[in-house]
Amino acid sequence: MSRLPRAAAVHVGEFALGVAVAYAAVGGAFALTQALLPMLAVAVVMIAVAVAAEVHWGPQATGLVAGLIATSLVAAGLFAIFSLLIYRLN
């Protein structure tokens, strides 16, 4: 039996974990502060953690890194746009 399905399942699980951690961190920062700069700072920290994990563990952490980076950027961007939109409409 090939090891590819197990490796793919591990990467998918790592990706899901990275998404959950990044969304909780960025969303939590936004919920606690209701400000853009602390939320963006948390997103930058999450990206730095992801880069450090990729450098340290290499290909074994690819799923985790992809989940952290993508979700940090998307969540920070969406929260920033929504808050600016609400501010503009108010």
pLDDT digits (tens, 9 = 90+) for 21-47: 999 999 999 999 988 999 999 999 999
Question: b/e per residue, 56-79, with b = 16+ CB within 10 A?
Answer: eeeeebbbbbbbbbbbbbebbeeb
- Range list of H helices, the chain: 4-33, 36-57, 62-89
Nearest to 76 by CA among 48, 44, 52: 44
Instruction: State how far the Cα of 55 lies from the Cα of 62, in Å rounded to an integer.
Output: 10
DSSP assignment, residue 58? G
Mean pLDDT of 65-87: 93
Mean pLDDT of 50-61: 92
Q: Look at residue 24 in the predicted model and tell me its pLDDT.
A: 96
Domain boundaries of the chain, sorted by first residue: 4-89
- Provide the whole-model pTM: 0.85
